[in-house]
Every structure is written in structure tokens, then in C-alpha cells.
Chain A
Amino acid sequence: MSGDEASSYNNPNEVWLHGKGAWLAYILLLVVLRLAFASVPFLSVPVSFTLTNVVHNMLSFYLFHLMRGTPFVSADQGESARLTQWEQIDAGAQFTNTRKFLAAIPIVLFLLTSHYTEYDPVLFAINFVSLCIVMVAKLPQMHKVRLFWFFGRKFVDHEK
């Protein structure tokens, strides 16, 4: 799937994200998360849906945008060790299918959530803020940008 990429090697840390199976698994995990919250008896529908949305966004923000490095050895002399998972996708190319899919998921989830929360302003605010955080992090303008000190040391691009 990534044979037409500009890079001459596959980054084992991100190639699995291209698979349609991975996308399906993502959606199924989301459904499982939703059902897990739905099965807690004392949670109302709006609260359980909000929890689903916020937990999903927090997890994806941590895994895609905060955590850096490579569990598997990549063939780039450690270049991707300083990149987040999101930055490693498709060797940094923007608006690829994988990126589009991963960006569409939180939006759709937010739309569903806002209906099932019955437009409660407090829940809306929580959901919207969590959506904004993950969507801003996915913007091409934020590629290799490190915002706050607690997100780690400054990014120094050796390529330039």
C-alpha cells in the first residue's frame, strides 16, 4: 500500500495504519468503548456518550500526538524516533487516506455525541473542547511543531 511513497523503506511503526482491517478494528474498538460505557447502569445516555467521546479523544491524542518514538526499529538512523505517531504516517505526507480517515473519526463521533447529549451546554462544551484539541493537533500546520514545554523538548530538524 505504501509502495508508491517517496521514501524507499516502510516504517514498521505506521504501515499497519494503512490497512482497511486496521480501520475496521478502530471502528469496532470505538463500538466496544461505547458499549462498555453504555453497560454501566447508573450512567445516563448523554453522560455515557460524552465519556466515550472524551476518552477516545484523550487516548488518541496521547497515542497519536504526545507519545514520540518508535517501538520497532526503522531504517532511518533514528530520524523517526523524534516524531509522533501522527507525524510518521505516510512519511509525513499530508491528506493521505489514512490521515483523512483518522481525522474524520473524531468529527463523526462528535456529531453523534452532540445529538445523544440532547444539546446540553455543559456536555457540549466538554465535547467540543476535546474535539478541538485533537483536530488542531492533526492540522498540517502543526507538523513537527512542539507547543508547550511539557510536550517535550524542542524539535530540531536536522534535514534543514
Chain B
Amino acid sequence: MNNSISHLCFFQSLPLIILKLDATQTHRVYYCCCIIVLTLHFPPPLRLTQRMSAADADMVAQLSLLEIANLLLAKLLSYVPSLPSHGPIFELLHHAFYEAPAYHLILEGLLVLSILWLVVRKSDKSKDKGPKLTAKEVEEIIAEWQPEPLVPVSGPEPVVVPVVQGPAAAFVQIDGQKKINLASFNFLNFVGNKKVEDAAVTSLKKYGVGSCGPRGFYGTIDVHLELESKLAKFTQTEEAVLYSYAFSTVASVIPAYSKRGDILFVDEAISFPLAQGVLASRSTVKYFKHNDMADLERLLIEQQREDAKLAKKAKLSRRFVVVEGLYANTAEIAPLKRLVELKWQYKVRIMLDETFSFGVLGDHGRGITEHFGISPEDIDIMTSSLEHAVGSIGGFSYGKTFVMDHQRLSSQGYCFSASLPPLLASAALCALEAMEKSPDMFTTLRSRSKAIHAKLSTALGRHLVVSGDASAPMKFLTVKQTKGRAADEALLDLIVSKANDKNVVLTRARYIEDYERVQRPPAIRIALNIGHSEGEVENAIRDIAAAADEAAKAHSS
């Protein structure tokens, strides 16, 4: 009986044995074996009875659980009196206080204190939580709270825009008056084009209004694929990726390729959508002065020096130069030839936004690459819009297939937006066909732009300055003798309203000033349209000049 109970106790007190770590070596091996035996023969009391003598087994079987527990406790307690002479805890304490050197005791004391400090110390996280409030206090705080107005009480006057009846085509109906439209980006006069309209209506009758899903999720319709292959053919690239909105095209293409830790060399004058893409990429951004290739080269050399220091990191990060073909904010053309030279010299990639240059520059309207005679293969990623020259809605990115294909799974605007309504794709297809058929429209647009640039400069020279590239179809008119931002804006607004009275529709270039890196000077932005005859435009220029004279007189008095 004694034997079996001690066996029982032995197995039950295994946790004690594990703690009793200073046993002899043979004991230690034995303990390990015991643990294995214990795990194999679980539950131990039942199995043990089989190995005991019949009498002992009977006796153990007759014991109640409480009695077994009492026996175990008694056995365990029998160790306690043995502590002062030779128990492990005694040895430990004896060691600590009589045999350990003093430095050891001090160190251990400190370590124990450090554990206590760790336990007591509050987490940095708990600081943010603030005090716990009772339900009453919470209600008091809620009652005290006064919401701020959703919109500022005072602020800039809301922009009053004329209401247009019918399409915003070359000529618009405002208050029943037919007026010449120099405010919309409709360079090739596809907005209001009867053929394009008919194509859209036919498509609408065939497919309905929406596409009912993103491109990768039941939203792809044959006209999308047709338009993509047409765009690729038109731009002479391998593949085009169609987006449902021009803004989201470039704003999602940039973050699709450039991530945290990558480096973007960005022109200071980039337009708002590009700036949003740059922001969303979380990349390291380095700005160079507008169209200043020397400044860009300085940044690239600087980067090269940094890379030499951190070669391993440099290998992992991508670098892109972000530019526009024709700048929306300045109407200047990017020096693409020099950019391509720099690209090969400093091993960077080029992201080129052709929102305004597509359908404008080049003899076939292919954009800035055609304008400079550069192969599209030299540009890594290009984006463009169907909303400006093409006169539909949507955007697209184009380039090599292995680069473009990445967007179909990684570009937010492509993956998570419902695809372009088929009727708009059909309208764009129709416009592209027209662009292919009669490339003379691009030469007309360019020669018209140059002529009008000179005429504007002479007619408005007294009060306004015409800026931007001469061949660009949009012109920025800024105040010649500036009297501060607010005064200039008031003057320009006055010119716009006086011109409106003379049946010329103009608009001021508007910006979200808080989001612009470099503030643009207040300007009137004129957008040309090949739908206007030369005589009509000349009349309009005369009217603008007269409006400017009147406004300047009214403003100074």
C-alpha cells in the first residue's frame, strides 16, 4: 500500500519534480523518462492500479477522491519539515544569504526590483486612453459640446458660374444667347459633334447606360476591349489600359508603381491629379523647378551620391521622373529629349502624363513623343485622358505590355471603379476614328494656336500677359501690373463678366490653393477649339480686349 501510494504521489507531484532541478544527473534522466511515461499512461491513477498488487489495487479503488487528495497532501506536506536541513528551497535561500558574494546579492536585488518596476509601470499606450468617465460625466460632456459649422461662416465668395443650356460645345446657349465658348477643353470640337453623339446613342440603345461592374468583375464589354486596342494602335504602343475617369487614371497609376521608399522626381508645376497620385504613393518626393533640366540633374546627381553610401538600399528602391507633356498649369511643353537623355544616364524611369498633349501635339495627334520624334518605347509609363481633346469621359495608360499589365491587378482606379459606360467608350472610339482619318486637324489646331498667341499678345498687351507655349491650344492671361493676388483676381473676374456681356464665355483658372505646392498667379485660361472660324476668334479677341479696357478703367477708378 505504502509503495503504491508513493508511486501515486510521485506521478501526481511531477510538477514539483520539474521544479526540483538540482537533482543528480541520473535522477534528471529518470525524471524526463517519467514525464514521457506520464503522458503515455494518462490518466495515471487508473493505469497504476493495474500494475499494483491485487490487494493494493482494491484498496486504491475503494478510496474516495477526497481520501486520495488527502493522502497526496499528506505526502506533499511531509516534504515541508525537511526544508531547513536539506530541501531545495532551503539550499537556495542558504546560498543566497550566506554563500553568495555581496555584488551578487546587490545585483539580484536590483533585478528583482526591475521586475517589480516592470509590473508596476504603466504602458505608454494607457496614457492615451484618458480617465474613465461615468455615464453621467459622458452625458455632460456631450451636452456641453457645440458643433462647429460644417462650412466656414465667412470665407471666399462662392464661384458664380453661368448656366449653359445644351452641350458645352464650340458655341453655348446662356440665358437664351448664343455665345462663343473659350472656356471648355474641347480642342478638336468633338463635344457637340453629331457623329460622335449618334455613336453614343446607338451604343446606349445596345448596352444601356452603365457597365454595372469594375473591369475585372463583369464590367468588361466588347467596346472597352475595342477601345483599348484602338488606343494602343493609335499611340503606337503595345497595350493601353482604360480607366473610367481621367483624374483617377494618373492618380492611381503613380501609386501603382511607386511605393513607400521609392523616389519620385517631380516637376513643381504638376497639375492637381498628378499631385494627388504623388501624395498617395507615399514615396519620397523631390521637386525640381518647372521644366528646369539642370535642376533635375542636380537632384539626380545628389541622389547618386546618396546611393553610393547606401548601395543595398539603393538597389531596392525605384525612381521615377514625373512630368506632364503639356502642363495644365502653365501650358508649357516638357523638354522630353533632355529628359530621355537623363533617364538613360541616371537610370530613372519616366512617368509622363499626356492629358493635354494627346490629340494636340504631333502631326497625328499622338502627343509629345511624336512632337519630339521620340519613340514611345523610351517612355516607361504614359497616361492620358479622353476628356480633353477626345471629348468623351475616361482616361487611359499606355506603354509596354509587361508594364501596363501590372495595373490590371494593382491600380486602384482600374480595379475598384465601375468601368467606363459603354456609350462613352463608343463616343471615344468614334472620335479616335475621326482623328485617324483626318490628321490635318492637328496641324490646323497648332497653326491656329500660334496665330492666336501672337494676336492675343498684341491685342491685350496693355493690361494682360499671354503665357504658355505658342503651339499650345490653351493660353493663360495674367495681369501685367500686379496689385496683389486679391486685386488681380477681382480684375480678372471683372474681365470675365464683361466678356460674357459681349457674348464671349471665359473662365478663370481655378486652384485649390491650399493643395498647390507652388501658387500659380491668377489667370484667365483660354481654350481654343477648331470649331471656331478664324473670323469668329478674331472677333472674340477684339471683345476680350475691349472688356479688358473697360474692366481696367472700372477697376482703377
Chain A residues proximal to chain B, CB less than 8 Å? 4-6, 31, 34-35, 38-39, 41, 43, 45, 49, 77-79, 90, 93-97, 100, 103-104, 107-108, 110-111, 114-116, 118-119, 124, 128, 153-154, 156, 158
Among B32, B35, B123, contact of A95 (Cβ-Cβ < 8 Å)? B123
B115 touches A108 (CB 8 A): yes
Among B21, B29, B115, B124, contact of A104 (Cβ-Cβ < 8 Å)? B115
A94 touches B128 (CB 8 A): no
B32 touches A115 (CB 8 A): no
Minimum C-beta distance from A112 to chain B (A): 8
Q: 1/0 per residue B95-138: CB within 8 Å of A? A: 11001110010011001101100110111110011000000000
A119 touches B28 (CB 8 A): no
Given known A111-B111, A124-B104, contact A77–B22 (CB-CB < 8 A): no
Residues of A close to B22: CB separation below 8 A: 45, 116
- Asked whether any CB of chain A lies closer than 8 Å to the CB of B260, the reply is yes
Interface SS, B side = helix
- Asked whether any CB of chain A lies closer than 8 Å to the CB of B220, the reply is no
Given known A38-B32, A119-B95, A153-B313, contact A77–B282 (CB-CB < 8 A): yes
Q: 1/0 per residue B31-61: CB within 8 Å of A? A: 1100100000000000000000000000000
Residues of A close to B96: CB separation below 8 A: 115
A114 touches B104 (CB 8 A): yes
A107 touches B128 (CB 8 A): no
The contact size tier of chain B is 35 or more
Max count, chain B CB within 10 A of own CB: residue among A38, A77, A90: A38
Minimum C-beta distance from A57 to chain B (A): 14
B118 touches A93 (CB 8 A): no
Give the residues from 274 to 318 in chain B that come closer than 8 angstroms, CB to CB, to chain A: 282, 284, 310, 312-313
Complex Cα gap A43–B25 (Å): 8
Residues of A close to B212: CB separation below 8 A: none
B260 touches A79 (CB 8 A): yes
Minimum C-beta distance from B399 to chain A (A): 24
Residues of B close to A118: CB separation below 8 A: 95, 99
Minimal Cβ-Cβ distance residue in A for B25: A41
Residues of A close to B108: CB separation below 8 A: 111, 114
Complex Cα gap A158–B284 (Å): 8
- Asked whether any CB of chain A lies closer than 8 Å to the CB of B92, the reply is yes
Minimum C-beta distance from B22 to chain A (A): 6
Give the residues from 393 to 408 in chain B that come closer than 8 angstroms, CB to CB, to chain A: none
Residues of A close to B28: CB separation below 8 A: 35, 38-39
Complex Cα gap A160–B473 (Å): 42
Complex Cα gap A28–B3 (Å): 31
A119 touches B18 (CB 8 A): no
Max count, chain A CB within 10 A of own CB: residue among B96, B118, B121, B284: B118
- Asked whether any CB of chain A lies closer than 8 Å to the CB of B261, the reply is yes
Complex Cα gap A90–B28 (Å): 40
Minimal Cβ-Cβ distance residue in A for B260: A77
B99 touches A6 (CB 8 A): no
Residues of A close to B104: CB separation below 8 A: 114, 119, 124
Residues of A close to B112: CB separation below 8 A: 111
Given known A4-B129, A94-B123, A119-B95, contact A110–B111 (CB-CB < 8 A): yes
